Amino acid sequence: MLDQPIVNLKGVGPALAAKLARINLHTVQDLLFHLPIRYEDRTRLTPISQLRVGVPSQIQGNVIDARLEPGKKRSLLVKLRDQEGEVGLRYYYYTAQLKSRFTPGRKIKAYGEPRLGRSGLEIYHPETELLDVTKPIEMETEYSPIYPVTEGVQQKRMRELCQQALQLMKRTPAHDWLPPGVLGELRLPELNEALTAIHHPPLDANLQALAEGRAPGQQRLAVEEMIAHHLSLLKLRHKLQQSKAAVLNQGREAVFNFIEGLPFALTKAQQRVIEEIRRDIETPVPMLRLVQGDVGSGKTVVACCAALHAVASGYQAALMAPTEILAEQHYRNLQQWLAFMDIRVQWLGGKMKTRERKQIQDEIRQGDAQVIIGTHALFQESVEFDRLGLVIIDEQHRFGVHQRLALRSKGERSGQVPHQLIMTATPIPRTLAMSAYADLDTSVIDELPPGRTPVTTAAIPDTRRVEVINRVEDIIRQNRQVYWVCTLIEESEVLQCQAAEATATELQEALPGVRVGLVHGRLKSPEKEQIMGAFKRGELDLLVATTVIEVGVDVANATLMVIENPERLGLAQLHQLRGRVGRGAQESFCLLLYHPPLSETAKARLQVLRESNDGFIIAEKDLEIRGPGEVLGTRQTGLIQFRIADLQRDQNWLPIVKRIAQRLSNDHLAAEGLIARWLGQCAEYGQV
């Protein structure tokens, strides 16, 4: 009964069904899980004299006046009075029919949020009801749920539909996929009880707990949703691991020689992660491993060792980076490191000329190119590999969930899929890693190479800009180099580049004799590479740049970074930018040049950055302040867009959720039922 189409409900025709479909309401069950976003207390009347600004209230009174008031926008002002006071009801959008309702002497019940207006205390666009003076006032007997709606569907209609769904649920209860034993462990209500309590909370319910999503019924559904999410990722992982992968069990000697030839010693953390990867790729089960490491922890060396195993075993390795600059830096590093081993490293970029691209694609197809590095250009249909055994994705969070497994099909030959190594310099908070990346094994490079000095960070208002410019001059006089980063001014690359150009001109005028370079997103790749190369070689003293330098530039002599308007960026991005300095043994500084006044959130974020150089602590704070969708990036959120669960609020449930999901993954019927209920089509998000 609950799976029947929504058009079977009373009062729902094709037109209304089409509107409801816009918010993914197709069946009766969809309505049951279409949950209120908040509640209103219409169970009692508030005397007008006791109204408080910003506190939604229900009042009743007699109309004493209704008139049109001139102003920038004409409005209808209705004066309402009870025995204790008077309030204005103001409508900026009104009809003649609405105005005709408010004749003096009429008794009105109204609900809305009082504000201070032109006539004193006013309620803008309240919901009103004409009262029959001969009958007693009918009051709601429970809190009124407020649902997400779409254009053409009013709250009243949505409440009626949800009420019909609840009535049907009483006759045919919704199936509870969580076994009684699990419910006992959770100490949370049964499903139908939870749904009833959420749609119609009793009068003794804790409104504060409901507003925060902590009421028992809400927590029950939040836990079920997280279990469904976890099950979908386990299903994805299981599906992939049914495939066979290449056994990459050669190359130990090549890796040893490579490490011995490096001009630096590997940290214990790097050695541990290299070993974890080697154990994975020596088996025929496809590796799915996430390597987290702070800025400068040496992830590229780890990736290179994995690529060496692939090549020595007769397979190709592909490394994909989110920007051309970062991909080019990986290309230069690997080409330099692997040159003495006679390994063909090739580069495939999005902006290559047709003839050059075709030549490289031929090399990849024929197997002449052994290690292939590029951007999303590697996804293109025209790119065919000979024997792809390993896929390395750098800064995975930049690509989006839908691309996580996109290169898999590129390696499918005789039923084999490539191993996958995913790297990020944006540490992912434990709570997100347990949920967003439940299908991955995780390695952490939690150690920086010796000789790296922590960066001292200070926040300075832009009213002290001249002092900052003087500081830049002092650093350059010490034969050190400086970055000056201009953050996004508008959602426009053109305006961003113009701002960077203006800053470069200003600094050149203020610092005559200083060699200033400028890099922004509208420069062609060869120009960017030339300018960054000049900065790296010490031919430029000051590099003015947009956030394109967030990843990809490694200059040990740069010891100062100035970031303008840091309040516009997320903590993780600021931490990434800051990681461009402090790459040598000299003391390094990051100055956050903010525009006052700062919001409380912005103050909290900059404070975190000043106090910590630990990317994992910063990531946890970023999650706390901005939430999971923001931290992972909007394109990346995928299943993180929970309907009722909140990873920050509900993180204490995660270990229990993980355990229950593992148990339920063996119960095919329950697992599929939960995934279908909460994720629907999204469940296949990993397939491209």
* The token pair that represents 543 in the structure block: 């590099």
Structural domain span for residue 420: 244-445
Instruction: Taking residues 231-248, report their average pLDDT.
Output: 86
Contact 51, 114 (CB under 8 A): yes
Instruction: Taking residues 88-110, report their average pLDDT.
Output: 93
Judge if 425 and 531 occupy the same domain. no
Q: How confident is the model over 284-332, as pLDDT tens digits?
A: 999 989 898 877 788 999 999 999 999 999 999 999 987 777 788 889 8
Q: Which residues of 609-620 are buried (b: 16+ CB within 10 A; e: fewer)?
A: beebbebbebbb
* The token pair that represents 427 in the structure block: 């540490």
Q: How confident is the model over 418-435, as pLDDT tens digits?
A: 999 988 876 676 666 666
**Tally of CB atoms within 10 A around 158:** 22
Judge if 481 and 580 occupy the same domain. yes
Contact 639, 684 (CB under 8 A): no
Give the end of a domain, one of 123, 139, 155: 139
Which is higher by pLDDT, 489 or 670? 670
Cβ neighbours of residue 581 under 8 Å, at least 6 residues apart? 455, 483, 558, 559, 560, 561, 588, 589, 590
Judge if 377 and 425 occupy the same domain. yes
- If pLDDT is split at 50, 70 and 90, which confidence band does 630 have? low
Quote the strand ranges of 215-364, DSSP E: 244-245, 288-293, 316-320, 345-348
| Within-domain flag for 664 | no
Residue 596 maps to which CATH number?
A: 3.40.50.300
Report cis status (omega within 30 of 0) of the bond before 597.
yes
Give the end of a domain, one of 612, 636, 668: 612
Which is higher by pLDDT, 76 or 409? 76
| Within-domain flag for 161 | yes
Give the end of a domain, one of 424, 445, 466: 445
- Can you state the percent helix, strand and coil of the chain, rounding each to 5? 45, 20, 35
Check pLDDT > 50 for residue 639: no
Number of domains composing the chain:
4
Judge if 507 and 559 occupy the same domain. yes
| Within-domain flag for 225 | no
Judge if 468 and 487 occupy the same domain. yes
* The token pair that represents 527 in the structure block: 């120009």
Instruction: Taking residues 191-205, report their average pLDDT.
Output: 92
Contact 426, 576 (CB under 8 A): yes
Q: How confident is the model over 322-360, as pLDDT tens digits?
A: 777 778 888 988 998 888 888 999 999 877 888 999 999
Judge if 186 and 332 occupy the same domain. no
Judge if 29 and 163 occupy the same domain. yes
Q: Residue 685 has what pLDDT?
A: 40
Residue 67 maps to which CATH number?
A: 2.40.50.140
| Within-domain flag for 467 | yes
Q: How confident is the model over 421-478, as pLDDT tens digits?
A: 988 876 676 666 666 666 678 898 888 777 677 899 999 999 999 999 999 999 999 9
Mean pLDDT of the chain: 86
Q: Residue 204 has what pLDDT?
A: 85
- The pTM of the full predicted model, rounded to 2 decimals, is 0.67
* Neighbour-count burial of 28, counting CB atoms closer than 10 A to its CB (0-12 exposed, 13-18 middle, 19+ buried): buried
Contact 485, 543 (CB under 8 A): no
| Within-domain flag for 674 | no
| Within-domain flag for 541 | yes
Judge if 78 and 164 occupy the same domain. no
Contact 183, 212 (CB under 8 A): no
Q: Determine which of 80-89, 119-128, 203-212, 613-622 has the lowest per-residue pLDDT on average.
A: 613-622
Contact 499, 486 (CB under 8 A): yes
Q: How confident is the model over 242-280, as pLDDT tens digits?
A: 888 999 999 999 999 999 988 889 999 999 999 999 999
Instruction: Taking residues 552-558, report their average pLDDT.
Output: 78
Judge if 21 and 170 occupy the same domain. yes
Judge if 127 and 174 occupy the same domain. no
Q: Among residues 95, 110, 97, which one has the least CA distance to residue 63?
A: 110
What is the rounded distance in angstroms from the CA atom of residue 491 to the CA atom of residue 497? Answer: 11
| Within-domain flag for 167 | yes
Judge if 389 and 441 occupy the same domain. yes
- If pLDDT is split at 50, 70 and 90, which confidence band does 404 have? low
Judge if 264 and 401 occupy the same domain. yes
Which is higher by pLDDT, 626 or 60? 60
| Within-domain flag for 648 | no
